[in-house]
Amino acid sequence: MFDEKKINKSCYISSRAYLSGKITIGALSSVWPFASIRGDLNKINIGKGTNIQDSCTLHVTKTHGVEIGDYCTIGHGAVVHGAMIENNCIIGMNATVLDGALIREGSIVGANALVTEKSSFSPYSLIVGVPAKAIKTLPPETFDKIKVNAETYIKLAKSYKTVED
């Protein structure tokens, strides 16, 4: 196993989060309590301004790493396993995104959804259900709301970082 973390100094990483393996985290991102990020078999890349909320699990396989873009929100208890999440997406609370899945820019995966292996969705999709299906294309103003959500966590993380440093 390898342990090679590249975490931007502006990030907030909770002292109660677990990070192991090959992980890169961009500027102003945050990892909240009880999140587990394991890049033991492949790499995990998290973009800038992204928040990995409480009790999330990010994990990889030998053939599938995890890529999460900029200004994403990975909601409480979500699992992202060997999948790619493009910029400005929300993965809802307790949603699961499995190996080889692709969530394109500006999309929202609803709470408790199950995105099955190798699923792929168009940009700006609302994705819900078990198994998950795209039920509509999101209006342009949703994109701004997704970014505002990420920016809210950037501000919140700064206050936590001050307390924990």
- Tell me: the pLDDT tens digits for 32-83? 999 999 999 999 999 999 999 999 999 999 999 999 999 999 999 999 999 9
Q: Domain total for the chain? A: 1
User: pTM for this one?
Assistant: 0.96
Phi-psi region at 79: left, alpha or beta (left = phi > 0; alpha = psi -120 to 50): beta
**CA distances (Å), origin 79, targets 6, 10, 30, 140, 160:** 22, 24, 16, 27, 24
What count of other Cβ atoms lies within 10 Å of the Cβ of residue 144?
Answer: 10
Quick one: which of 91, 101, 9 has its CA closest to 55?
Answer: 91
Contact 142, 108 (CB under 8 A): yes
Per DSSP, the three-state class of 8 is coil
The answer, yes or no, to whether residue 18 has pLDDT greater than 90, is: yes
Cα(53)–Cα(76) distance, integer angstroms:
5
Structure tokens at 122: 């168009």
- Taking Cα atoms as reference points, which of 78, 55, 60, 68 lies closest to residue 1? 60
Range of the domain at 107: 4-164
Task: For residues 73 and 162, give the distance between their C-alpha atoms in angstroms, rounded to a whole number.
Answer: 21
Residue 136 is part of a domain; what is its CATH number?
2.160.10.10
- Position 1 pLDDT exceeds 70: no
pLDDT tens for 102-151 read: 999 999 999 999 999 999 999 999 999 999 999 999 998 998 999 999 99
Confidence of residue 163 (pLDDT cuts 50, 70, 90): confident
User: How many residues appear in the chain?
Assistant: 165
Identify the band that residue 10 occupies on the pLDDT scale cut at 50, 70 and 90: very high
162 pLDDT band, cuts 50/70/90, is: confident
Q: Kindly report the backbone phi and psi dihedral angles of residue 77, in degrees, each rounded to the nearest multiple of 5, phi listed first.
A: 75, 5
For the record, the structure tokens of 58 come out as 């990010």
Which three-class secondary structure state does DSSP give residue 158? helix
Q: What pLDDT does residue 165 have?
A: 55
